[in-house]
Structure formats: C-alpha cells, structure tokens
Amino acid sequence: MADEGNILTDVNPDPLPNGADTAPAAGMISQYIKDLSVENPNAPHAYQWTDAPQIDLQLNIGAQPVNEEVHEVELKITVTAKAEKGNFYIVELAYCGLIGMRNLPDEQAHAFMYAEAPQLLFPFARRVIADATRDLGYQPLMLDPIDFKGLYIQRIQAQAAGVAEAGAPVADA
C-alpha cells in the first residue's frame, strides 16, 4: 500500500507561527455621515424663479489614520445650485467610511483609500444628497456615477509627469 502521507502536513506544510495572519486584507468596517449642511438661502423667493439651476459640484477625498490598521476615508461633496438671482440651495456633505487594512504594501493601501473606498462610499453619499435636495422642495439631484479609479490613475500619472518634468535637466542656451 502506498504511503498516503499525513493529511495535516500535506495541506499546509509551513503552518503560520502562533496563528499569525499575514494575508493582505482590506475592507469597509462602517460608514457614516460626519457632517451635513443643507441650506435654502433664498426660500421662499427661489421657488418663484424660472431659471434652470446651474449645478456646481466640488468633490474632495481625504484619509486620516485612526490606528495602525484602520483609516477614516472622507468623501466631501459640495453641491451649489445657482441662478442669476442667487443660490437655490447649497448642500455640503462629509460622508466617511472606516477602512480596515492589514498587510498591504503602501502603494496598494494608498490606492484602496483614494480609489476603491470612495467608489464604495459614493452610492450612499449620492442618496444622502438626493434626499436632501428633495427635502428642500426641489427635484432630487441624482449625481452621475464617478469613476474614482480612473481619476486616481490620472492623478498618479499627472504627479509622475510633474516629478519627471521637475527632475529633468535644464538645457543650456
């Protein structure tokens, strides 16, 4: 009869010492509204205006460490609906997520915080803004989807090009 071997050592010939987990992991722990400001500065007069609102959308992403394995990623969205006579409304939202990351190289952790995490948070922030504009008495503002990964790649490429240009030797005239 052939030696079938020890099933425990065959499955994992090099067990991790003391049950250490060295596999890379990243994920959303929780998400929440950190700050929400909803202004209707020209009500009730704005409801009489016939101008179509011009929407100005500002978006910012930030990250702060909470501890060694947890970061707070903040998706800040400011929406201003403007008309010739003034602002219809202003909505400022700081929507955050607690992101857990373990055993990730720095480049991958940075990409997760500034591309993947905002991609996960955005649909929920979008709903908060739609509800806020509806509650102001206007048609719900449904923001178009945003390709955070594409924006991240563009920004990294632009920064790399800027560093390359800054480090390029200057030709003598």
Domains along the chain with CATH numbers: 27-141 (3.10.420.10)
Summarize pLDDT for 143-153 with one digit per residue, the tens.
999 999 999 99
User: pLDDT category, 170, cuts 50, 70, 90?
Assistant: very low
Please check whether residue 100 is in contact with residue 27, taking contact to mean a CB–CB distance below 8 angstroms. Answer: yes
Mean pLDDT of 114-125: 96
Match 């955050």 to its residue by tokens: 96
Residue 160: how many CA atoms within 13 Å on its side-chain side? 6
β partners of residue 30: 98
Residues with Cβ < 8 Å from 139, sequence gap 6 or more? 133
SS3 73: strand
d(CA 61, CA 73): 7
Maximum C-alpha span of the chain: 92
Length of the chain: 173
Summarize pLDDT for 31-69 with one digit per residue, the tens.
999 999 999 999 999 999 999 999 999 999 999 999 999
Predicted TM-score (pTM) of this structure: 0.79
Percent residues over pLDDT 90 in the chain: 73
Please check whether residue 69 is in contact with residue 21, taking contact to mean a CB–CB distance below 8 angstroms. Answer: no
